[in-house]
Amino acid sequence: MVHGSEVITIERFIMEQERLYPEATGELSNLLYDVCLAAKIISRHVRRAGLTDILGAAGAVNVSGDLQQKLDLFANETVRNSVHHTGRVCVTASEEDQVPMPVPPGKPAGKYVVLYDPLDGSTNIDVNVSIGTIFSIHKRVTKRSSPAGLADCLQAGKKQVAAGYILYGSSTMLVYTTGQGVHGFTLDPTIGEFLLSHPNITTPPVGKYYSVNESNWNRWTPPVQRVVGAFKNGEGKVQPKNARYIGSLVADFHRNLISGGIFLYPADTNHPQGKLRLLYEAGPLAFVVEQAGGRATDGCRSILDIVPADLHQHTPLVIGSKDDVAYAARVLSAEAVPVK
């Protein structure tokens, strides 16, 4: 998109951001370009999914028990192949890989760690509903002399150096932060470039929408039912909101980020630790939303403060407009009830 009268590609924008840091080596900038390349390749396949043999299940389940779709696996390989050989990364970890994937011996290992959900919203692939990719970038914490691995992946979200997502929606957008605000780029497929379309995204303190899978109502604790009921019908100072739920976290999150809203995936009796993953979904989106003026909690605690104990750790997630997240935290902290 032409922002004002200037056409600013993501490469140029990243370079200008890098100039703000004279000590920057350019490695993070180049890693972000690598993620862009992966995004373009995945977008090309998503846009033609109905015409090529990339729809449907791949016939296996991942470590979280989710049925893997062909596009899950394609996207998983594409991200890994776009970053692994560059010398900028030492290890990657994905929702679709059982264990961390260190850069193979003999290949140059860099200082960055990439954690990612290669394809978010997989159940929506075959019905042509928006899906996404989510990524989180950390610096390695182990010594370069030893192989990178799990310790480099299990870092609190507040240690992230960059995070973002690609939304394969009515257009393909890439939204990211490196801690200097949140910026959105729209892919112009006619020139194969992501162009700056949404500089300095901020999210309203009170949301228009609430997004939750209400079919879980009977599996929630009473405090969670009270919070969702307040967003639905109003309570005290909380005004009723419009319900919007796409079932792809990235799509629900992005709509709420732009328009103001709150997304909830609380713990329930089917998912006592919550359904979403801390490292690949909650953590990166928490970094983005906080940089846009929003908040993200597990209902009570800030997502960015949680130190992961397990690579595929699940967490309840309440994320979006800060006043709405704060209301939920007040109720859920005061009336904390364990999910039985």
Footprint of Mn ion on this chain (CB under 5 A)?
95, 117, 119-120
Whether 187 is catalytic:
no
Q: Distance between CA 249 and CA 264 in Å, rounded?
A: 10
φ, ψ of residue 58 in degrees (nearest 5):
-90, -10
99-118: which residues touch ligand AHG (CB under 6 A)? 117
Q: Which pairs with CB-CB distance under 8 Å and at least 24 residues apart come from 21-30? A: 27/88, 27/110, 27/111, 27/112, 28/88, 28/112, 28/137, 28/161, 28/162, 28/178, 30/86, 30/88
Whether 119 is catalytic:
yes
Residue 33, both tokens: 């370009």
175-214: which residues touch ligand AHG (CB under 6 A)? 213
Residue 284, both tokens: 């990166």
Q: Which of 18, 32, 71, 72 is the catalytic position?
A: 72
For the chain, first and last CA: distance in Å?
50
Choose the contact partner of 248 out of Mn ion, ligand AHG, none; CB within 5 to 8 A by kind: ligand AHG
Work out whether strand 162-168 and strand 172-177 pair parallel, antiparallel, or are unpaired.
Answer: antiparallel
Whether 214 is catalytic:
no
Is there binding between residue 94 and ligand AHG (CB under 6 A)? no
Choose the contact partner of 213 out of ligand AHG, Mn ion, none; CB within 5 to 8 A by kind: ligand AHG
Amino acid residing at 138: H
Is there binding between residue 122 and ligand AHG (CB under 6 A)? yes
Is there binding between residue 249 and ligand AHG (CB under 6 A)? yes
Name which position in 248, 291, 297, 321 contacts ligand AHG (CB under 6 A).
248
Whether 97 is catalytic:
no
Size of the site for ligand AHG (CB under 6 A): 11
Which CB sits closer to ligand AHG, 13 or 116? 116
Choose the contact partner of 247 out of Mn ion, ligand AHG, none; CB within 5 to 8 A by kind: ligand AHG
Residue 121, both tokens: 């919203």
Q: Which of 71, 115, 119, 174 is the catalytic position?
A: 119
Which CB sits closer to ligand AHG, 1 or 55? 55
Q: Which of 18, 34, 95, 252 is the catalytic position?
A: 95
Whether 96 is catalytic:
yes
Which CB sits closer to ligand AHG, 109 or 166? 166
DSSP conformation letters of 196-260: EEE-S----SS-SEEE--GGGGGGS-HHHHHHHHHHHH-BTTBPP-EE---S-HHHHHHHHHHH-
Q: Distance between CA 339 and CA 326 in Å, rounded?
A: 21
Whether 311 is catalytic:
no
Per CB under 6 A, residues contacting ligand AHG are 66, 95, 117, 120-122, 213, 247-249, 275
